[in-house]
């Protein structure tokens, strides 16, 4: 376990930890936004959730889709599809000994692109805002993957 504590002395790993935490909190916030929209609009996906709000009404009234809720869910799904690979590749990248400045640029650009992607998805901003923010984040993840493979290629 003593070897693991030495990770906290590596500046790039500390930077990775910071930005990974920010991204995790952002993804957790998306769950809260979904719940907020479901409760305020009284739109539920499951009968057991709808029954508490139905009272004497039919639960089918509360079992429907709402475009704003679906938009938040799609945004959250997009986060899962893009942030989870960042966690794995970013960790390998942080452990491969990159330059601190370059690593910080990777982490900051990715984090900013995901936050901007969320705003452009939920507001919604006209395209190509969302598409460009996705491409920037994807490019950063690919850049880190390329760097890991280039620096630690072991076949």
Q: What pLDDT score does 56 carry?
A: 62
For residue range 5-26, what is the model confidence (pLDDT) as tens digits?
A: 676 678 999 999 999 999 999 9
Q: Which DSSP letter does residue 125 get?
A: P
| 126 token code pair | 């006209």
Q: What is the pLDDT along the chain (155 residues), one digit of tens a residue?
A: 447 667 667 899 999 999 999 999 999 999 999 989 888 888 887 777 777 776 666 777 777 788 888 899 999 999 999 999 999 999 999 999 899 999 999 999 999 999 999 999 999 999 999 999 999 999 999 999 999 999 887 76
**What is the model's pTM?**
0.88
Q: What pLDDT score does 138 carry?
A: 96
| Closest of 90, 84, 131, 82 to residue 108, by C-alpha | 90
Q: What pLDDT score does 1 carry?
A: 43
Q: What pLDDT score does 39 carry?
A: 84
Please give the mean pLDDT across all residues of the chain.
88
125: buried, middle or exposed (CB in 10 Å: 19+, 13-18, 0-12)? middle
| Closest of 84, 94, 69 to residue 148, by C-alpha | 94
Q: What pLDDT score does 66 carry?
A: 81
CB 30 within 8 A of CB 79: yes
């Amino acid at each position: 376990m003593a070897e693991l504590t030495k990770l906290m002395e590596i500046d790039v790993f500390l930077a990775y930890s910071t930005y990974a935490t920010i991204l995790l909190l952002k993804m957790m916030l998306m769950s809260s936004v979904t719940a907020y929209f479901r409760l305020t609009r009284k739109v539920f996906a499951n009968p057991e959730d709808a029954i508490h709000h139905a009272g004497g009404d039919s639960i089918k009234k509360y079992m429907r889709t709402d475009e704003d809720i679906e938009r938040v869910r799609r945004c959250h799904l997009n986060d899962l599809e893009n942030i989870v690979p960042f966690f794995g590749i970013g960790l390998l990248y942080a452990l491969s000994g990159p330059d601190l400045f370059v690593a910080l640029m990777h982490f900051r650009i990715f984090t900013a692109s995901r936050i901007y992607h969320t705003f452009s998805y939920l507001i919604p901003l006209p395209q190509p805002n969302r598409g460009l923010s996705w491409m920037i984040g994807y490019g950063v993840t690919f850049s880190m993957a390329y760097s890991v493979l280039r620096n630690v290629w072991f076949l």
